[in-house]
Structure 1
Amino acid sequence: MLNAPPVHYPVGRAASLGWLLTALWLVAAAPGVWMLFVALAQVGSARAAIVSVAFCSFLWLMAGLGLLEFWRRQAPRRLHWDGECWRLGVGQTLPDAISALAPGTPAVRLDLQRCLLIRWQAPGSQARWLWADALADPQHWHLLRCALYSKARGQGAEPAAAPTLRA
């Protein structure tokens, strides 16, 4: 889609993100459970089995802490698209204050149709990870997706020439 209409969309912590992170953490338990079954099957090497299970459990807990930190950093923000550039506001930024916000570039890294993981890169700063959920603003979800997947004016988004009809 060329020249998507302006949209303001809330991003940040959502229930869907919490469920996804919890599911990832539970899936990460699989190697530890597998090692436990291997340890029980090999009665002769109890010490090696205990070390393996303890190591897997430690890695699983560290993964959980990493996912929890990611969840904690998902502060409420607002993505603003004005048809020309993207801006990121903190909290529930009012559209009047958009010009004061620094511009940046969003890139969709995971698209689950009803949820998006977006990498936000502002000039001169570290990348941020943003979570957008369709339930946050269902009326504007389609507009956000159109804006994220369209090209801004001046970025090669020239409209195609109309075909000429011959009689």
Structure 2
Amino acid sequence: MSTAFAVLLAALVLLALASAIDWLASRFDRGSVGIWAVALLLVWPLAGFLALHSRRPARRLNWDGQCWLLHSRSCPAESGQPVLVLDAGAWLLVRWHVSRQDAPMRPTTRWLPLARSNSPAAGDWHALRTALIWAAP
């Protein structure tokens, strides 16, 4: 995970924490808000830390001329259909729909955050973005 993406994720976690504390302040009397705010201040950052540091196996998305494949070290390649949800230039968010014949018992949708910093070459990143835009259903 790139440093900028981790900072963005941490900022979103802090924004959610502030929103939860504000909601608690509007729902309860002032005495109980302090207890809930302290609990949130202790638990929410811990959850954010665990989410940021949970490691998933590295994956590689590629087009073989016939279909899209998602490769992972821990399991065999699976075919599916990518849907580009967010294109932020240096980051992409892709929703991956697994083909049923490849994984009948697995969840059929996965979210793939992709970063240019993890791409081996700049030309590969541009080609991937272009292919994902043209692969839109």
Cα distance in 2 for residues equivalent to 1:139 and 1:28: 36
Q: Which runs of 5+ in 1 are unaligned?
A: 1-12, 40-46, 94-99, 156-167
* Larger RCO, structure (CA 8 Å, separation 6 or more): 1
User: Secondary structure of the equivalent of 1:83?
Assistant: coil
Q: Which of 75, 88, 104 is the equivalent residue of 2:57?
A: 75
Correspondence 1:105 to 2:81: yes
Q: Give the number of the structure whose alpha-carbon radius of gyration is greater.
A: 1
Q: Calculate the aligned-residue CA RMSD, in Å.
A: 3.4
Query: 1:51 matched to which residue of 2?
Result: 32
User: Secondary structure of the equivalent of 2:84?
Assistant: strand
Give the TM-score, by structure 2 length. Answer: 0.69
Residue identity (%):
31
Cα displacement (A) at 1:109: 2.1
- Is contact 1:31–1:56 with CA below 8 Å preserved after alignment? no
Give the TM-score, by structure 1 length. Answer: 0.59
| Alignment of structure 1 residues 8-87 onto 2, 5 Å | 13-31=1-19, 34=22, 48-56=29-37, 58=39, 61-62=43-44, 65=47, 68-69=50-51, 72-87=54-69
Q: Which runs of 5+ in 2 are unaligned?
A: none
* Cα deviation code 1:31-70 (max 9, x no counterpart): 356479x69xxxxxxx822422443554563476167336
Instruction: Assess, with a 3 A threshold, how the Cα gap between structure 1 residues 151 and 34 changes in structure 2: closer, same or farther.
Output: closer
Q: Which of 142, 145, 153 is the equivalent residue of 2:126?
A: 142
Cα distance in 2 for residues equivalent to 1:110 and 1:74: 21
